Each structure stands twice: as structure tokens, then as C-alpha cells.
Amino acid sequence: MDRKKFLAERQWIRNQLTNVADFWLKNGWDHVNGGVTTCLDRAGQVYSTDKSVWMQGRCGWTYAYLCKIYGIREDWLKFSKSCIDFLEEHCVNHDADGRLYFTVEADGTPLRQRRYCYSEAFYCIANAEYYGVTGEREHLLRARRAYDMYWNLNHGMADPTGMGPKSTRTGRALGIPMIILNVTGVMKRVDPEMKDVYDARAKECVEDIFNYHVKEDLGVTLESVALDGTPRLHVTEGRMVNPGHDIECSWFLMDYANDVGDAELHKKAIHVFDMAFSKGWDDEFGGILYFMDCLGNPPEAYEHDMKLWWPHNEALIASMMIYRDTKDEKYLDIFYQILDYCKKCFADEYGEWYGYLRRDGKPTQPACKGSTFKGPFHVPRCLILVDQMMTEVLGE
């Protein structure tokens, strides 16, 4: 390892973290209604006042986690609490046993309810992390309730909204066990009283990922499979690969493996990364493609060859985690490869990172820094975790 280069890259990461955290504090915080507004253009101007419920939870978690890692800063903690309070006051559907909405208006008036339950997951981690920083037990109780609802909704509980499945084709989605695994990790860290429950559920998630989704014969991890894990290669949905999702899954698995001391699982998680990165990296233009067909057929998603911010964030985390844990220089080279692309194409002089690039690496126009799906989460989480891991590598 070239220590001088490593130190310089860590400083760039730290500078970006300050830049990104300040960008959302300045431009995203709704001081009138509370919470965060995430539809921001390149310069940080609001182009839509509707609010993503996912982002209230994700932002609440991010700024609480900043306080955990770097020490409590009053503005960080207040921003986190503003998002959590907005969630509690406006985003909980009390007519559906506490399920959360998907989008609301600026003042919290409900707009849309969705079948899937990621809003509950992000509400959970926001309250959990805030409890971890403040010790305010009400937030832990909220997190536990949301966590159990999230688990139960994905394990046979009838949806209290009354909405049925979107499709008559039953199956399994990778997003369910991998996100539960990550949420469970947050809960276990802040709530050791329930360790046995979290350990059992995390173990089940890991088993589901490898038993049903990782397909060695195809060299991929599939997003969607039949209930018994059989690939459905006769339809585009069944052949879909999302390299960014798989890479994110790989570091969730490594994090879990490190927590329980499972070296064999750690190796298997690295293999998940290797398969996804080799398939997803665009040798012609650089960057990670968004969707692929595991058999090389035309992907159905129109955005399949775009480059989105979050797969690159996850790849930075995963490659640095592998390097930290194995000291294999191959993965430091991959980390630098991804970082160089991010510096060139995603980072911007106006602050934050572009969300959406064309295949050639140019931002879509007009360019944006936030949307219903992009807010203060993937970029700052990446920068925090990479900073921490690089510091561990340096032995500081």
C-alpha cells in the first residue's frame, strides 16, 4: 500500500463528507414543516415539495449516525429529530395498524401508500440510531414495533392496508432478506437486550440469500426467483441482475460474518462481490451498469445502462471492507478504480453527488442532486464507513 496516496484519498473522502452533510443541512431541511425535502436540483434548489417517507427515515438515521461516529453536533441531532418527528406526526397510517406511507405533501398530508414496506424499515433504523445516541427509550420502543412489523409483513402477516400482491406470480425478492439483514444489524448494535431474536433472524436472512438467490452456475445473484429458489429464466424479471444490489448485499453479509466470526461466510460474501463487480463494471465507459440480464438478453428496464450514484457508494464500501479484512491489494486497486470514477463523474462543485448519469458518465439534464429516491443516505453512509475503515487500515 502506498501510504501517502491512501492518506490523500482518505482526506478527499473526509472533505466530501463535510460537503455532503452541509449540503443537506443547508438545502434540504424544511424549517417550516419539519423533515427533509429531497427533490433538489444541481445547486440545491427545491424542484418539488412532495416528500419521500423513505428519506425521512434515512435522513433521521444518517444524522444520528454522524453523531455516533463523530460526536454529537447540535445541528446534526436536531436535523435527525426533525425527520423523526415528521415521520411520527405525519407519515404513520393509523388506520392501517401503524404502517407508513410512501410519499406525503410538504406539510405531511398523505399522498401514496405502497405495498412494500421499506418505509417501516427506515423509520425503524432512524428511531433506533437516535435512541443509541440519546438513550431516549421511546425511540427504542418505536424501533422495536416497526422492526417486528417489518419482519412479520415479510413472513406471512396480512397487510393491514388491505392491498393484495401486485402480481399473481409468487416468488422471492433479494431485497427482502438483504435489507432485513442490515436493519437487524442496526437493531442488534443499539438493542443488545434482544440479541437472541436478532441473531436468529439475521441467520435466517443469510440462509435465504444463499439458498435461493446466489446462483453459482449462472455466476450471478438473482433479484427474483420462485419460492423454492428456482430461476425463472423464461421471463425478463427472472433474469434480472442488479449489480449494485448484489454488491450492497455482499458487504451486509461481510459485516454479519465479522460480527459472528464466520470466516467461511466472509469468503462467500467476497465471491458475491466478485461476481457482481465483474458483471457490472462497464469496460467501455467505466462505472457500474444499473441492470443486466443474466443470459445477455436485452434488459426490460429502460434505465438499465445508466450509472446511478448508490451502486458506486456500495462498491466503495464493499471493496474497502474486503481490503481491510484481507489486505489483498487487488481490492484496494478496485477501490481506487471506483473512487476515480466517482471523483470524475459524480462529485460536483455545487456540493453533493449527481444522482443519475448516462452510460457515458455525463449527468442527465437537467441534473439533480436529490429525488424521491435519492437523499442524504447512500453517499454519506458510504463516506462515513469508508473513512472509518481507512482509519482502521492505517492503525490510527
Pairing mode, strands 214-215 and 92-93: unpaired
pLDDT at site 167: 72
19-31 per-residue burial string, b: 16 or more CB within 10 A, e: under 16: bbbebbbebbbbe
pLDDT tens for 291-318 read 999 999 999 989 999 999 999 999 999 9
> What pTM did the predictor assign?
0.97
pLDDT at site 135: 97
Peptide bond into 231 cis (omega under 30): no
Return the residue matching grid coordinates 424501533.
143
pLDDT at site 84: 98
Instruction: Give the C-alpha separation, 98 to 100, whole Å.
Output: 6
Instruction: Give the C-alpha separation, 125 to 64, whole Å.
Output: 10
What CATH number matches the domain at 172-365, 3.40.50.150, 1.10.20.140, 3.40.50.300, 1.50.10.10?
1.50.10.10
CB atoms near residue 336 (< 10 Å): 15
What nine digits make up the cell of 279?
Answer: 458483471
Helix (H, G, I), strand (E, B), or coil: what is residue 270?
helix
Please name every residue paired with 29 in a beta bridge, in sequence order, or none if there are none: 36
pLDDT at site 210: 98
Domain ranges of the chain: 172-365
Answer whether 58's CB lies under 8 Å from 376's CB: yes
What are the 10-residue block averages of pLDDT along the chain, 396 residues in total? 97 98 98 98 98 98 98 98 98 93 98 91 98 98 97 87 76 95 98 97 98 96 96 95 98 98 98 97 98 94 95 98 98 98 97 97 97 98 98 94
Instruction: Give the C-alpha separation, 287 to 289, whole Å.
Output: 7
pLDDT at site 116: 82
Residue 206: DSSP 8-state: H
pLDDT at site 207: 98
